[in-house]
A and B are shown apart, each in its own frame.
Chain A
C-alpha cells in the first residue's frame, strides 16, 4: 500500500499538469498538432494508473484539449471514474469533464445514475452542488426520470445553496421528462415564497421559462408575482417577472392596463435619451412588442423610428423597418412611405434596398390595402419604384400593379395612363442589363394597357411603343404578354376608328400590325412565336375584310369581350351542391372488380363527376333560386365583413347620383403628371393634406352625424383604427373588388379553421385539480429499464403508509445522517435503492395471466432498500390496465413469511389486503408503494401475493383476482457504496471475512462492459482496476461489507468474493452467475 502511494507521488512529479500543458501548447506553435498527440499519448498512460490524482489530472488536461476541438469521447469511462472519486478536488474535475463532453448519445451515461444519486445525497453541500451543476449539462430523459424524485427532494434541502440549484435543474428535468411537471409544480410554487432570495429568483426563472410554453397555467400566480414585483429589490428577478407578465398579459387584458404605463415610459426614455446602440436596438424591439396591443402609444414615435432607418447598423435598421409595418394608419401612411422612398434613394447595397422595397409594398398592401386612401398615389409610388436600379423584386411591383388595377375599378383610368407611360419609356427600364429584374413591370404594364385599353388616351402611341423592335430583347414571357395585349389594343383602336368613320387610319393601323408582327414571329420563344403567327394571320384576314369595306371592329372586339375578375381561392369549394344531386352516387354502373384494380379510370371518373355538377345548376327550380339569392343579399347587407363579390348590386349603388354621404373628390389627373423634375407621389401628399383639410371643414359645417359607409372593405383590424383614422375618407371611391365567389356560396368561414391544429394538444392545464385517474402521473410500463416515478410521494394515501412508526433501527455506520432528522424531513434525504426484478416477476405474472382474463392490471415493481431504516424496503408497484374495462377497488395482499412482512395499517390483521389508492381507467397505469419489514437479508425471497379488484364494463361488474410473486433478490439489499483502495485493503486485511468464488465460462463481452453490468445490476462500485482484473465493493442495508475480485481470462470470468456473512455472499454470487451467464 505504502509503496503504491510512493509510486503515485513520484509519478506525479513527472506528470505534466494543466499549466504545463497550456504552456507547452503555446511554446509549440509550429507543430501544435504533433505536440498535442504526444500529450494525448501521455494522458492515455496516466489514465491507466491506479492513482486517482493522476487520473484526475489527466482528465483535467483532456477537458482543456476538448475545448481546443479534440475528441475525448474515448475517455468517457475514465471521466466517470474521476467523478466517483471521494475527494472533492477530483470529483469536481470529473463532473466538469462530463458536463463538457457528455451528451445524450454517450453510452456510459447510464452508469452514472447511482453515482449521481449518491453525490446528490452527500452530506457535503459542494458535492451535491457539483453533481447538480454537472447533471444540468448532460441530463438525459433516462436520468431525468430516475433522478427526478431525488432532485425534487433537494428542492426542500436545508441549505439554500442546494435548494436554488435543485429548483433550476428541475426545468431541465421537465424538458426531458415532462410527466414530472404536474407532480412537481406545487413544490415549485412554494419556492416562490422561499425565505432565500436566491431560491426565489431561481423559482421565478423556472416559471418564467415554463410560461413560454403554456402561459395560461400560470395566470393564477399573477397576484403572487405582483407581490414579488413590488417587494423584490433584485433587478434580475424584476426583469424576469416583467417578462413573465409579458407572457400573461395577452390572456388577461386587465394585467396589461396596469403595466403598460410604466413600461412604455421606460422604453421611450431609452429611445429618446440614450444614444447607446444596444439600448436603441432593444427599445425598437420592445416597441414592436407593445405595438401589437397598443399601437397608439408607439405611433407617436414614428419620427424617431424613421431616424433609426439611417443608422449604420443593419440590425437596427431592420428592427425599425419591422416596426413601421405595424405603425401605419390611414393618416400617416403617405408620410411614412415618403420617408421610406427617400431612404430607398439613399440606401447603399441592393440587399437593404430590396428589403426596403418589399417593406413598402408590404406596408401598403397589408390587410387588403386597408390604409390606402388614395390609390393614385400608390400607383405613382409603384411607378417610382420601377426606377430602382438592380432590384430583384420587379415581379413584386408588377403583381401589385396588376392587383390594384384589377381590383380597384376607379383607379383603372389613372393606372392605364401611368402604364402607357411606362411602356413608352420601356427602353429606360429594359436597356440596362443590370436592371433585368425590374423589366417584370412591363409585363404588368402591357397587360393593363391591353385589358383596359378603353381608358387609353392615345392608344396609337401605346401600340407603337409595344411594337418597337427593342421589345424583342425582353424575356419571352413578357413578349408573349405584349403580343397578346397589342391585339386587344388594336381591337379597341379599330373600333374607335370605325365608329368615327376613319377608314383610312383604321387600315393604316392594320398595316402597321402586319408590318411589325413578323419580328415576333421570328422569336426563339415558342409562346411568342405561336401567338404572333396566329395573330398575324388573323390580322391579315381582317385586312382582306377591310379591303372589301366590311365593318369588322365589332367582331374583333368580341374576341376580348367580358371582364376578367379574380376568383377566390376557396370559390370552388364553396359551390353548393344543388338539391337532388348526390355526388357519391354512381352515375354509370360501377366498374367490375377486375377493373377496379386500375386506379386511373377512377380518377378520371371523379373529375367528370365534379364537372357535371355545374351545368346541372340551372336546372334548379327558378323560384328556389330567387329565394336563395335574396337571402344571400340580405345576409351580405347585414354582414360588415362581407366584401362585395359580383359587381351588379354595388355598381348600381355607385352610379346612383346623390350619394352625398360618400365624399368623392375629383382630382385633376393632369396635375401630377405635368410636374417635371419632382417625384409625383410627393404631390399627392400635399394634395391629400389639402383634401383632408377641406373635408374637415365641410364636415364641421354639416354637424349631422354621418355614418360612414364601409364600402365593402375589410375591417378586420378594427381595434387598430384610431378615432382620427376613421375620420379620413378615401379620396376616390375605391371599391376593392374581391375575388369572385360562386352564386349561392355559403358565407361561412369554417374552412379557415384547421381541425388538425397540432398545438391544440399542447394545452396542459396545471390549475385543474389532479383527477382521480391522474393523481399520480401516468406512467408507461417498461420492462427492461430501471423505472421509478419521480412523484411517488405525491399521493395522499401513501403518505400515511409511508410514515410507519420507526421500527427498531440497527444504526451501524449511518448514525450521523439520521439522528437529527425529523420525521417529516426523513423522506427528503432518503436515499433509495432500486432493483430491477421486473422481468423475473413478469414471467410469473404472465403465467398466471394466461389462465385468467386479459383485462387485469398488470403490476410490475421496484424494490427500494431504505437506508434510513435497515430493516425496511419499499416496493413500488406499477399497475397498468391493459383491458378496455374500468378497474377499481384494487386490494393488494401478500402472504407474509416469518422473515418478511408487509406493513399494514394499525389494527388490521395479516389477512387484510392494503387498498390501492386509485382506480384505473382503460389503458392507464399508476404506481403505488408498499413497505415491507425484513429480519434477515442474507437470502433471496419470494412472496406470494394476490391482487383483488372489480372490473366494470358495459355488461356489469365482476370481482377478479390475480396471483403474483414478489421476488426479493439479494442484490436488492445492496447499496452502491464507493470505497477507496486504502480502506479496501484494510478491510481485506482485517481477516474476519468469509470467502467464496464462482467461475463463468463463455463470456465474450469486454471487461469494461462486464464491470458496468455488475455495477448496474448488482450495485457494486469499482475500487481499482488493473488490466483485466478489478476489485469491487458494495454494502448491504444492514451493513455487511461485500468485496469482489473479478478476473477476466480468455473466455471466462472468475469472481472471488469476501463478505462477513457467508450465506449472503454465496447467494449474491449465485445471482451474479445468472447475470453473467446471460452475457
Chain B
C-alpha cells in the first residue's frame, strides 16, 4: 500500500526475498502505478506477474499476483481489506493506518494467510481482531497498573 506521493504505508510479502530485492521491487511497482491515469484498468503486466491495484482516496492498494491468478478476485480481495479496515477503524483514513500500522497488519493477517484468503466474512474477521484486542487491552491495563 502506498500513498500518492509514493510513500509506502504497508507492505506484506508472501514470498521470502532479500531486503534489497524487496526495496527494488517496491520502487519499481510504485513508479508503474503512479504513472497510470485513472481511466486505465487496474491491471498491469509486470515481469511474469500481474499487478492489480486500486486507489482509495490518497492511497493505492496494490498486489502482485501470478499469471494464473484471477485479477478480479485480487481486486475484490483489496476491496474487502479496505472494507475491513473501514469497519475496524470506523471511516478509515490514511492517518489511521500510519499511526496504527500494526493493527492494519493484524487485520490483514486475519483476512489473508500465506497469500490465501482465510476469512471471507467481514464480521468474523473483525470479531477475531476485536477479541484479541480485548485480550490485549486487559493485559495493557494490567501492565500499566502502578506496581507500588
Binding partners A and B = yes
Find chain B residues with CB under 8 A from A205 CB.
116-117
User: Is residue A500 within 8 Å, beta carbon to beta carbon, of the partner chain?
Assistant: no
The proximity string for A residues 260-295 relative to B, scoring 1 for CB distances below 8 Å and 0 otherwise, is: 000000000000000001111110010000000000
Q: Contact check: which of B16, B41, B121 meets A138 at CB < 8 Å?
A: B16
Most buried by A among B12, B109, B120: B109
B146 to chain A: closest residue by CB:
A9
A133-150 CB contacts (< 8 Å) to partner B: 133, 136-138
User: Is residue B28 within 8 Å, beta carbon to beta carbon, of the partner chain?
Assistant: no
B105 to chain A: closest residue by CB:
A96
The proximity string for A residues 1-18 relative to B, scoring 1 for CB distances below 8 Å and 0 otherwise, is: 010011011000000001
Most buried by B among A93, A102, A133, A206: A133
Instruction: For the complex, give the distance between the alpha carbons of A398 and B17 in Å.
Output: 45
Residues A6 and B147 in contact, CB atoms below 8 Å apart: yes
The proximity string for B residues 118-145 relative to A, scoring 1 for CB distances below 8 Å and 0 otherwise, is: 1111001000100110011001100110
Find chain B residues with CB under 8 A from A18 CB.
99, 101-102
Instruction: For the complex, give the distance between the alpha carbons of A446 and B10 in Å.
Output: 62
The proximity string for B residues 75-105 relative to A, scoring 1 for CB distances below 8 Å and 0 otherwise, is: 1100000000000000000000011011001
A206 to chain B: closest residue by CB:
B116
Residues B147 and A5 in contact, CB atoms below 8 Å apart: yes
Find chain B residues with CB under 8 A from A92 CB.
106, 132, 136
User: Is residue B57 within 8 Å, beta carbon to beta carbon, of the partner chain?
Assistant: no
Residues B18 and A103 in contact, CB atoms below 8 Å apart: yes
User: Is residue B47 within 8 Å, beta carbon to beta carbon, of the partner chain?
Assistant: no
A89 to chain B: closest residue by CB:
B136
Q: Contact check: which of A53, A105, A198, A318 meets B120 at CB < 8 Å?
A: A198
Q: Contact check: which of B19, B23, B44 meets A315 at CB < 8 Å?
A: B44
Residues A2 and B147 in contact, CB atoms below 8 Å apart: yes
User: Is residue A558 within 8 Å, beta carbon to beta carbon, of the partner chain?
Assistant: no
Residues A209 and B116 in contact, CB atoms below 8 Å apart: yes
Asked whether A67 and B11 contact (CB < 8 A) given A53-B143, A88-B132, A164-B118, the answer is: yes
Find chain A residues with CB under 8 A from B45 CB.
315, 318
B40 to chain A: closest residue by CB:
A313
Residues B114 and A169 in contact, CB atoms below 8 Å apart: yes
Find chain B residues with CB under 8 A from A212 CB.
68
Instruction: For the complex, give the distance between the alpha carbons of A382 and B148 in Å.
Output: 91
Asked whether A198 and B131 contact (CB < 8 A) given A5-B147, A243-B70, the answer is: no
B1-23 CB contacts (< 8 Å) to partner A: 8-14, 16-19, 23
Residues A93 and B128 in contact, CB atoms below 8 Å apart: no
Instruction: For the complex, give the distance between the alpha carbons of A315 and B36 in Å.
Output: 11
Instruction: For the complex, give the distance between the alpha carbons of A5 and B136 in Å.
Output: 19
Asked whether A133 and B113 contact (CB < 8 A) given A281-B41, A282-B71, A313-B40, the answer is: yes
Find chain A residues with CB under 8 A from B144 CB.
9
Residues A234 and B136 in contact, CB atoms below 8 Å apart: no
Residues A168 and B114 in contact, CB atoms below 8 Å apart: yes
Residues A312 and B73 in contact, CB atoms below 8 Å apart: no
Residues A93 and B41 in contact, CB atoms below 8 Å apart: no
Residues B114 and A172 in contact, CB atoms below 8 Å apart: yes
B144 to chain A: closest residue by CB:
A9
Residues B8 and A67 in contact, CB atoms below 8 Å apart: yes
B137 to chain A, nearest CB (A): 9
Residues A87 and B109 in contact, CB atoms below 8 Å apart: no
B42 to chain A: closest residue by CB:
A278
- Count contacts between A and B, CB distance < 8 Å: 151
Total chain B interface residues with beta-carbon distance under 8 A: 55
Find chain A residues with CB under 8 A from B44 CB.
315
Residues A312 and B148 in contact, CB atoms below 8 Å apart: no
A145-204 CB contacts (< 8 Å) to partner B: 161, 164-165, 168-169, 171-172, 198, 201-202
Instruction: For the complex, give the distance between the alpha carbons of A236 and B102 in Å.
Output: 27
Residues B99 and A88 in contact, CB atoms below 8 Å apart: no
Find chain B residues with CB under 8 A from A237 CB.
120
User: Is residue B25 within 8 Å, beta carbon to beta carbon, of the partner chain?
Assistant: no
Instruction: For the complex, give the distance between the alpha carbons of A60 and B109 in Å.
Output: 16
User: Is residue A988 within 8 Å, beta carbon to beta carbon, of the partner chain?
Assistant: no
Residues B118 and A202 in contact, CB atoms below 8 Å apart: yes
Residues A19 and B99 in contact, CB atoms below 8 Å apart: yes
Residues B114 and A171 in contact, CB atoms below 8 Å apart: yes
User: Is residue B34 within 8 Å, beta carbon to beta carbon, of the partner chain?
Assistant: no
B24-50 CB contacts (< 8 Å) to partner A: 39-45
Instruction: For the complex, give the distance between the alpha carbons of A96 and B106 in Å.
Output: 8
Find chain A residues with CB under 8 A from B140 CB.
89
Residues B18 and A277 in contact, CB atoms below 8 Å apart: no
Find chain B residues with CB under 8 A from A5 CB.
147-148
B29 to chain A, nearest CB (A): 14
Asked whether A87 and B143 contact (CB < 8 A) given A67-B101, A198-B124, the answer is: yes
Residues A312 and B43 in contact, CB atoms below 8 Å apart: no
The proximity string for A residues 210-245 relative to B, scoring 1 for CB distances below 8 Å and 0 otherwise, is: 001000000000000000000000101101000100
Residues A315 and B43 in contact, CB atoms below 8 Å apart: yes
Find chain A residues with CB under 8 A from B119 CB.
164, 198
Q: Contact check: which of B39, B40, B117, B147 meets A201 at CB < 8 Å?
A: B117
Instruction: For the complex, give the distance between the alpha carbons of A8 and B10 in Å.
Output: 31
Residues A67 and B102 in contact, CB atoms below 8 Å apart: no
Instruction: For the complex, give the distance between the alpha carbons of A285 and B45 in Å.
Output: 13
The proximity string for A residues 755-793 relative to B, scoring 1 for CB distances below 8 Å and 0 otherwise, is: 000000000000000000000000000000000000000
User: Is residue A492 within 8 Å, beta carbon to beta carbon, of the partner chain?
Assistant: no
Asked whether A168 and B148 contact (CB < 8 A) given A89-B139, A138-B16, A239-B70, the answer is: no
Asked whether A282 and B13 contact (CB < 8 A) given A133-B109, A277-B41, the answer is: no
Find chain A residues with CB under 8 A from B43 CB.
278, 281, 315
Instruction: For the complex, give the distance between the alpha carbons of A179 and B110 in Å.
Output: 28
Residues B120 and A236 in contact, CB atoms below 8 Å apart: yes
A83 to chain B, nearest CB (A): 14
B108 to chain A: closest residue by CB:
A133
Find chain B residues with CB under 8 A from A202 CB.
116, 118
B142 to chain A, nearest CB (A): 8
Asked whether A136 and B147 contact (CB < 8 A) given A60-B102, A63-B102, A316-B41, the answer is: no
A494 to chain B, nearest CB (A): 58
User: Is residue A110 within 8 Å, beta carbon to beta carbon, of the partner chain?
Assistant: no
User: Is residue A998 within 8 Å, beta carbon to beta carbon, of the partner chain?
Assistant: no
Residues A169 and B113 in contact, CB atoms below 8 Å apart: yes
Residues A315 and B135 in contact, CB atoms below 8 Å apart: no
Instruction: For the complex, give the distance between the alpha carbons of A2 and B12 in Å.
Output: 40
Instruction: For the complex, give the distance between the alpha carbons of A63 and B42 in Å.
Output: 30
User: Is residue A126 within 8 Å, beta carbon to beta carbon, of the partner chain?
Assistant: yes
Residues A280 and B41 in contact, CB atoms below 8 Å apart: yes
Residues A87 and B146 in contact, CB atoms below 8 Å apart: no
Q: Contact check: which of A67, A206, A282, A312 meets B40 at CB < 8 Å?
A: A312
User: Is residue A64 within 8 Å, beta carbon to beta carbon, of the partner chain?
Assistant: yes
Residues A277 and B39 in contact, CB atoms below 8 Å apart: yes
Instruction: For the complex, give the distance between the alpha carbons of A93 and B39 in Å.
Output: 40
Q: Contact check: which of B98, B114, B120, B128 meets A22 at CB < 8 Å?
A: B98
User: Is residue A68 within 8 Å, beta carbon to beta carbon, of the partner chain?
Assistant: yes
Asked whether A137 and B13 contact (CB < 8 A) given A88-B139, A89-B136, the answer is: yes
Q: Contact check: which of B9, B23, B135 meets A88 at CB < 8 Å?
A: B135
29 contacts between A and B (CB under 8 A): A2-B147, A2-B148, A6-B147, A9-B147, A22-B99, A60-B102, A64-B101, A69-B23, A73-B19, A88-B132, A89-B135, A89-B143, A100-B12, A136-B113, A137-B14, A137-B114, A161-B128, A165-B113, A171-B116, A198-B119, A198-B121, A201-B117, A205-B116, A239-B70, A278-B71, A282-B70, A282-B72, A313-B41, A315-B41
Please name the 9 residue pairs, one residue from A and one from B, whose CB atoms are nearest each other, closest first: A136-B114, A5-B147, A277-B41, A103-B16, A89-B136, A133-B109, A236-B120, A126-B132, A168-B113
Enumerate chain B interface residues (CB-CB to A < 8 A): 8-14, 16-19, 23, 39-45, 68, 70-73, 75-76, 98-99, 101-102, 105-106, 109-110, 113-114, 116-121, 124, 128, 131-132, 135-136, 139-140, 143-144, 146-148
| Sample of 20 further A-B pairs with CB below 8 A, known A92-B136, A126-B131 | A22-B101, A69-B8, A88-B136, A93-B102, A100-B11, A126-B135, A129-B128, A129-B132, A133-B109, A137-B16, A138-B16, A164-B118, A168-B114, A171-B116, A172-B114, A239-B70, A278-B41, A281-B43, A315-B45, A316-B41
